[in-house]
Amino acid sequence: NTKEPWRPFSSSRVYMADLESTLHYSLRVEVAAHTVIKGEKLISLKKYIAVLAKHFPGRTMVMNLLTSANSWLQNQTGEEISYEAFQEILDNSGQSPDTALPEAETWVGCQGSQPHFRRYPCGVWTLFHVLTVQALTTRDTDPKEVLSAMRNYIHSFFGCRYCAEHFENMARESVEEVNTVSSAVLWLWSRHNRVNNRLAGALSEDPNFPKIQWPSPEMCSACHTVTQNGDHKWNDNQVLLYLQSYFFFDKILSDYLE
Ligand code: FAD
């Protein structure tokens, strides 16, 4: 188990290598834990792939793969599919040129100081934010499409089961509030901060990447305001602008891609 070399990265940027690694892990490891996919899980998988095919801001090769996986899945009208059949599509067994999901796990912005820190869970949050921002950028009109697809994915497949349960409880409690695409972006941001708050100082926290209420004042001073009684208050409009710029597709870096 040789240690991978550290990949220098900017901690204020999003990397496509993390997003592709997340897709690889989710589709080839997490979903692969189910030999047969049916019922609620099949619905979750179809919605997840449909949202990815629509909103993932990926390279042409990856988009071709997601599009082909999406049309294959939407054509599966039976009650179940085998993972093996789905895997053939993922691996592009038909060998269409320029259609592929790379098999690498190349963590960059999601690297951890130890192999058990960060990586895939960090990638899932990043993917989730990118997709909500992408729905806003493309002026999608369905406010809950991305949240609902990701919520179902996490409920059906996310390997950390107590994480999935916590997330489902938060969603059940408050996702009703979301009625515009921008409120979906902000809902996800604020729930992620709640999770950060709960996990700050926990054993799962990478000491080199402490959990903060994100973005810090150094990252976005306009996001933070103080009320007359001296309490901290977020400026939601500024946070929204910050999220839109931070997760904007055209700013995602391609470093370390194969
Ligand atoms: P992460 O929290 O994974 O965040 C990734 C990156 O997103 C950060 O580096 C930062 O750039 C950015 N970011 C941080 N906060 C925000 C924000 N509010 N809005 C937008 N961007 C932000 N672990 C547990 O131990 N217990 C749990 O119950 C648990 N529940 C989870 C539920 C879900 C749905 C997910 C996806 C993960 C969960 N995890 C849980 C894992 C945990 O939240 C972290 O993903 C993991 O500890 C790695 O943390 P990280 O330092 O890489 O930052």
CA atoms within 13 A on the CB side of 55: 28
* Closest Cα to atom 14 of ligand 1: 214
Domain range 16-251, its CATH number among 1.10.10.60, 1.10.620.20, 1.20.120.310, 3.50.50.60: 1.20.120.310
Ligand 1 centroid – CA 233 distance (Å): 22
CA nearest to 2, candidates 112, 121, 115, 117: 115
Interface predicted TM-score of the whole assembly (ipTM), two decimals: 0.99
Q: Strand 80-82 to strand 232-234: parallel, antiparallel, or no bridges (unpaired)?
A: unpaired
Q: Is 195 in the pocket of ligand 1 (CB under 6 A)?
A: yes
Question: What is the residue extent of each domain of the chain?
Answer: 16-251
Distance CA 2, CA 212 (A): 31
H-helix or E-strand spanning residue 127: helix 120-137
CA nearest to 128, candidates 171, 93, 161, 165: 171
Ligand 1 centroid – CA 195 distance (Å): 7
Q: Is 72 in the pocket of ligand 1 (CB under 6 A)?
A: no
* Closest Cα to atom 26 of ligand 1: 163
The distance from CA 2 to its chain's CA centroid, rounded to whole angstroms, is: 28
Ligand 1 centroid – CA 126 distance (Å): 8
Residue 167's identity, in one-letter code, is: F
Ligand 1 atom, smallest distance to 205 CA: 47
pLDDT for 95 = 79
pLDDT for 99 = 95
DSSP code for 28: I
Q: What is the pLDDT along the chain (258 residues), one digit of tens a residue?
A: 567 899 999 999 999 999 999 999 999 999 999 999 999 999 999 999 999 999 999 999 999 999 999 999 999 999 999 999 999 999 987 778 899 999 989 999 999 999 999 999 999 999 999 999 999 999 988 999 999 999 999 999 999 999 999 999 999 999 999 999 999 999 999 999 999 999 999 999 999 999 999 999 999 999 999 999 999 999 999 999 999 999 999 999 999 998
Task: Please state the pTM of the whole predicted model.
Answer: 0.97
